Amino acid sequence: MNGQDKDGLSRKTVAKKKLFIKSYGCQMNVYDAGRMADVMAPLGFDLVDTPNGADLVILNTCHIREKAAEKVFSDLGRLRPIKEAKANDGGRMMVAVAGCVAQAEGAELMARAPIVDMVVGPQAYHRLPEMVAKVERQAGRQIDTDFPVEPKFDFLPAPRASGPAVFVSIQEGCDKFCTFCVVPYTRGAEYSRPARDILAEVRRLASQGAREFTLLGQNVNAYHGEGPDGRDWGLGRLVRAVAEIEGVARIRYTTSHPRDVDDDLIAAHREVSTLTPFIHLPVQSGSDRILQAMNRGHTTAQYLAIIDRLRAAREDMVFSSDFIVGFPGETEADYQATMDLIDRVGFVQAYSFKYSPRPGTPAAGMGAQVAEDEKSRRLIALQGRLTQIQTTFNDSCLGREMDVLFDRPGRHPGQVVGRSPWMQPIHVTAPDMVLGSMARVQVVKTSPNSLAGTVIPGSVVPGANVGDFSRRESA
């Protein structure tokens, strides 16, 4: 279809189409959903917040969580009548399954679910437009779950700032092979983007008004990319370079592995004031026996030594973690060792899971699997303890002043929500506050999950009001 611009120039216009993406799981997946939306935008696909009437539905799956494949099949079941309704109206709804379940179970998905038109693994998103075009031309169903040698980043369009807080993917994949985990099989080997590309992306996003940058990777502190000087850069070196870019007010990174916390990263925490004093550093268990069976490659004492060194680098440092209870062979004593570790570190936030066997991983075949009700009991007690610690930490913030980056409208008129340097959501009533602004806030109220405060007069550094927030909430 050809149209006329206001200036009279003829240009190609693309018919508008609706794209619905459902993302499951981790931040890496949320980031990937954004990139899929970016890659489809030039073809006229706009994000919508319901699958009803959509031209393309992407289920962006995650394999880490329990019953991942079943959830995908039940969502596919729900999509069937919607796809049929669209066909009855003379339209066509394409269905793509992306992400880690696609990678691991692509062939089975194609065989079991005729509703699926495309299966695309995490390394092949740049080929989505081509796959969509082929399906549109009735060239048959498409599957692409190869691990190409060339990195996918080179083929994806530059992301746009979706708001003041953005993610920048710097590393993908994992070579660690924890015995419970599918990531090394679904995301492939570790790969680090060249620092030059990352810095260019940060500069572009900062110029669009982004202020908080979360450097993202499955094993983010295993980052070893080529520096602009041709040398190998680790995460500490990269963080220092990101910190120098104009507009960068806050830097975070996730998810890191204890084994890859090196001296230079610790030094960066001492030197770079914009690096947040909050680290997500999964430990999984506090029992050395279980850590060994998990192939984590460190002991509890080594983990605690890292925590001490990070705290010595920055005294206001807090930690969050991931825990698995009921790993095969976990005794009551092993579990108590995890509870002791939680008390010693005082994690202010955590994700915790019952162990669930993943086909093909070594732990799935181990003896002494723990009974389901026992896992539940351990998980509930562990989560109770973590909630207590989080509440105590939030309560300790009462009366304190902290820097807040406002990145969301609140639920009530005139309310804006931001985050503290320790990742706590903090609400203020400030009708004139522009999103992306930073301000000093005094905490006047605390609750287990969030804080409320008042803005210190004269402290507001106005932001660029970047991002379409209605879209962000629904993505």
Interface with ligand SF4 by CB under 6 A: which residues?
Answer: 174, 176-178, 181, 183-184, 218-219, 257
Find all residues with CB under 8 Å of 271, minimum gap 6, and list them: 240
Site string for ligand 5AD, 252-291 (x = CB under 6 A): ------------------------------x-x-------
Shortest Cβ distance from residue 363 to ligand 5AD (Å)?
7
Tokens read off for 256: 């890191």
Judged by beta carbon, residue 178 or residue 342, the one nearer ligand SF4 is 178
Shortest Cβ distance from residue 255 to ligand SF4 (Å)?
7
Binding residue (CB under 6 A) for ligand 5AD from 356, 383, 450, 465: 356
Binding residue (CB under 6 A) for ligand 5AD from 64, 96, 210, 251: 64
Shortest Cβ distance from residue 94 to ligand 5AD (Å)?
30
3-state SS of 120-140 is ECCCCHHHHHHHHHHHHCCCC
Query: Which entry of ligand 5AD, ligand SF4, none binds 356, CB below 5 to 8 A by partner kind?
Result: ligand 5AD
* Residues 398 and 454 sit within 8 Å (Cβ to Cβ): no
Backbone angles phi, psi at 253, to 5 degrees: -145, 150
Judged by beta carbon, residue 45 or residue 323, the one nearer ligand SF4 is 323
Instruction: Report which DSSP code applies to 55.
Output: S
Tokens read off for 231: 């040398």
Query: Which entry of ligand SF4, ligand 5AD, none binds 218, CB below 5 to 8 A by partner kind?
Result: ligand SF4
Binding residue (CB under 6 A) for ligand 5AD from 24, 31, 45, 180: 180
| CA-to-CA dists, residue 177 to 352, 355, 442, 452, angstroms | 19, 16, 44, 42
User: Is 294 a residue that touches ligand 5AD (CB under 6 A)?
Assistant: no
Query: Which entry of ligand 5AD, ligand SF4, none binds 358, CB below 5 to 8 A by partner kind?
Result: ligand 5AD
Report DSSP letters for 290-332, one per residue.
Answer: HHHHTT-S--HHHHHHHHHHHHHH-TT-EEEEEEEES-TT--H
Judged by beta carbon, residue 235 or residue 243, the one nearer ligand SF4 is 235
Query: Which entry of ligand SF4, ligand 5AD, none binds 38, CB below 5 to 8 A by partner kind?
Result: none
Judged by beta carbon, residue 64 or residue 132, the one nearer ligand 5AD is 64
Query: Which entry of ligand SF4, ligand 5AD, none binds 353, CB below 5 to 8 A by partner kind?
Result: ligand 5AD
Query: Which entry of ligand SF4, ligand 5AD, none binds 174, CB below 5 to 8 A by partner kind?
Result: ligand SF4
- Strands laid side by side in the 212-216 sheet: 165-169, 212-216, 250-254
Judged by beta carbon, residue 72 or residue 116, the one nearer ligand 5AD is 72
Torsion of the alpha carbons at 203, 208, 214 and 218, rounded to the nearest 10: -80
Scanning 208-354, the segments in alpha helix (DSSP H) are: 235-243, 263-271, 288-293, 300-313, 332-345
Beta-carbon count within 10 A of 133 CB: 12
User: Is 100 a residue that touches ligand 5AD (CB under 6 A)?
Assistant: no
User: Is 324 a residue that touches ligand 5AD (CB under 6 A)?
Assistant: yes
Query: Which entry of ligand 5AD, ligand SF4, none binds 324, CB below 5 to 8 A by partner kind?
Result: ligand 5AD
* Residues 220 and 171 sit within 8 Å (Cβ to Cβ): yes
Number of residues in contact with ligand 5AD under rule CB under 6 A: 11
C-alpha span between 222 and 150 (Å, rounded) = 19
C-alpha span between 383 and 321 (Å, rounded) = 12
Instruction: Report which DSSP code applies to 284.
Output: B
* Residues 394 and 419 sit within 8 Å (Cβ to Cβ): no
Query: Which entry of ligand 5AD, ligand SF4, none binds 19, CB below 5 to 8 A by partner kind?
Result: none
- Return residues touching ligand 5AD (CB under 6 A): 64, 180-181, 282, 284, 322, 324, 353, 355-356, 358
